[in-house]
Amino acid sequence: EPEVTQTPSHQVTQMGQEVILRCVPISNHLYFYWYRQILGQKVEFLVSFYNNEISEKSEIFDDQFSVERPDGSNFTLKIRSTKLEDSAMYFCASSVLSVGPGELFFGEGSRLTVL
């Protein structure tokens, strides 16, 4: 069964360092998303991406964050200068359709620990 894959599964970094989290969405999907989940809290939407541009983003997704699809298969989330509060599980998701009750498939997540 096709799945969304994410790497790394766990990354530890020093505050102020740049981090890139990678995702390979399901191959025929057109819409890509990043979410985060701080330990013990609910999942929060960060950004949605379609046709090589951001289609929607939340207040959390400030100038420290960026996304891109560098090679047609990978979908990356970059955090330019990490802060302690960026420590969280980051989930990538993809879907065939955008609006409506379409299925949204999540990856297993990348756990980011900022020291």
Partner 1 sequence: KNQVEQSPQSLIILEGKNCTLQCNYTVSPFSNLRWYKQDTGRGPVSLTIMTFSENTKSNGRYTATLDADTKQSSLHITASQLSDSASYICVVSGRGGSQGNLIFGKGTKLSVKP
Binding site for partner 1 (CB under 8 A): 4, 31, 33, 41-45, 47-48, 55-56, 58, 89, 91, 93, 95, 97-109, 111
Are the CB atoms for 115 and 13 separated by under 8 Å? yes
CA-based nearest residue to 112, from 52, 23, 36: 36
Q: Judging by DSSP bridges, how do beta strands 110-114 and 10-13 pair with one another?
A: parallel
Q: Which is nearer to partner 1, 15 or 112 (CB)?
A: 112
d(Cα 103, Cα 110) in Å, to the nearest integer?
21
Q: Which is nearer to partner 1, 65 or 81 (CB)?
A: 65
Q: Which is nearer to partner 1, 107 or 112 (CB)?
A: 107
CB of 34 to partner 1, least distance (A): 9
